Every structure is written in C-alpha cells, then in structure tokens.
C-alpha cells in the first residue's frame, strides 16, 4: 500500500531538484565525453541516458550528484559498453579507427599519434585537453594521486610530441 505524506513528497521533490540540477550542469559534458569515445552519436546518446538513469537511482540513496560522481559513473558505463561489445581483442583499435576515420579530414595524423600512445597516458591526455579536467579532478576520477596524473600527462605530452615531430619530418622528407 502506498502512503504519500507531505514529508515524503518534499523529500521526493528535493531529490528531483537535485537530479535536474545535476543534469542541467553536467549533461552536455558527459554527452561529449561519450561522443569522443563511442562509435557514433546514437551510442553516445544511449550511454549518456544510462548514466542519468543510474544517477537517478543513486540519488534515491542520498548520493550527491557531483560532476565527479557522474563522470565516475560515465567511466563505468563506457567500460561496460566496451566490454560487452568486445567480440575481438582489437575492438579498441577498431573503435579508434572508426573515430579517427570520422575526423581524419580534420587532422588524421593527430588521431593516429593519439592511437599509438599507451592507453592510460592517452586517457589522461584526452581527459585534460578534450574534457577539460584539472590534475586534481583527474586524481579523484582515476583514483590516483595528482602527482601521478601530472607525471602521466607529462609522459603523454612528450610521447605525443615525439610522434608528431616524427610525422612532420617524414612528411618533409617525402616532399
């Protein structure tokens, strides 16, 4: 039997407000996060919806729907998506190739260089440059120290710099 009380209504209203506030604040960033990593817009939409479905569920348990929390959920959702869709060991490569194919017209060599980075270094680099996270935010998100993040970012920048330089030299040589 359902018993609706003024207190219950108020609590539920507060929950909805918190949820809508979190949605308004974070939806676009999270959608873009998936758009960068999923195979297409439709999948990004699905994954984004899943994040907010989970967030709604968690909000019922009093979870604070901060940006970091939502991105943590987004990470897990993406990981599950990739895992469940992985029919072959090189799925990541396929996804990468698919994505880079979409943007190849813009600067394919950058995508190729990014694909050659170590996965954890690439992720820190992309979370920094594309998703706009700071080192301290990333340390929360990736559950490591800010120093480790900075070191990883430093290595990623160096490696990418080397790759882009090599690519440039190769192009000049071919001319």
Partner 1 sequence: MKDLSAADEQRILSADPAANVTEPELARSRSRSLAFMESDATHIFAGGPESYSRPPARRWRAAGAFLAAAAVAAAVLTANFLQAVPVETPAATESVSAPSPAPTSAPAPTPPAGPFHDLFLSADEVLVLEALPNAARNLRAGLGVEPVNVRQVLKGDLTPGETAVDVASAEEGINGSLLWRDSRNEAPFTYLGFFARGADGGLHLIEAPHALLQIQNIRTAATVDPATDEPVEIGADLQSRINVAPVGDVPVATHGGGSLAASAPDRILGTQAADGQRDGEVRGYVAASEACFTFSNSTEKVYLRWPAGFTAKVTPLMVDAEGHVSYFGTTLANRAVILNEWGFIYMADLDTRPLVQGELSMETASCGGETLPVFDVWPERAGGSPFQKGRGVALPTP
Which residues lie near partner 1 (CB under 8 A)?
1-4, 8-9, 12-14, 16-18, 20-21, 23-25, 27-28, 31-33, 35-36, 41, 44-45, 48-49, 51-53, 56-57, 60-61, 66, 99, 102-103, 106-107, 110-111, 114, 125, 129-130, 157-158, 160-162, 164-165
What CA–CA distance (Å, rounded) separates 51 from 138?
19
CB of 70 to partner 1, least distance (A): 11
Cβ atoms within 10 Å of 173's Cβ, excluding its own: 7
Q: Is 125 or 149 the residue whose CB approaches partner 1 more closely?
A: 125
CB of 71 to partner 1, least distance (A): 14
Q: Is 21 or 89 the residue whose CB approaches partner 1 more closely?
A: 21
Q: Is 89 or 121 the residue whose CB approaches partner 1 more closely?
A: 121
CB of 139 to partner 1, least distance (A): 14
What CA–CA distance (Å, rounded) separates 140 from 54?
20
CB of 116 to partner 1, least distance (A): 14
Say how many residues make up the chain.
Answer: 175
């Amino acid at each position: 039997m359902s018993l609706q009380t003024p207190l219950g209504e108020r609590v539920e209203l507060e929950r909805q407000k918190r949820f809508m506030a979190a949605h308004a604040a974070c939806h676009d960033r999270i959608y873009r996060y998936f758009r960068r990593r999923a195979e297409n817009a439709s999948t990004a939409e699905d994954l984004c919806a899943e994040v907010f479905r989970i967030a709604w569920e968690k909000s019922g348990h009093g979870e604070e729907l901060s940006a970091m929390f939502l991105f943590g959920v987004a990470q897990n959702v993406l990981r599950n998506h990739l895992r469940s869709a992985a029919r072959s060991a090189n799925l990541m490569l396929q996804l990468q190739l698919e994505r880079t194919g979409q943007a190849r017209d813009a600067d394919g060599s950058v995508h190729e260089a990014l694909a050659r980075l170590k996965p954890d270094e690439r992720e820190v680099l992309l979370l920094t440059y594309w998703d706009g996270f700071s080192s301290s935010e990333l340390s929360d998100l990736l559950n490591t120290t800010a120093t480790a993040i900075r070191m990883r970012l430093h290595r990623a920048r160096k490696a990418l710099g080397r790759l882009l330089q090599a690519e440039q030299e190769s192009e000049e040589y071919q001319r």
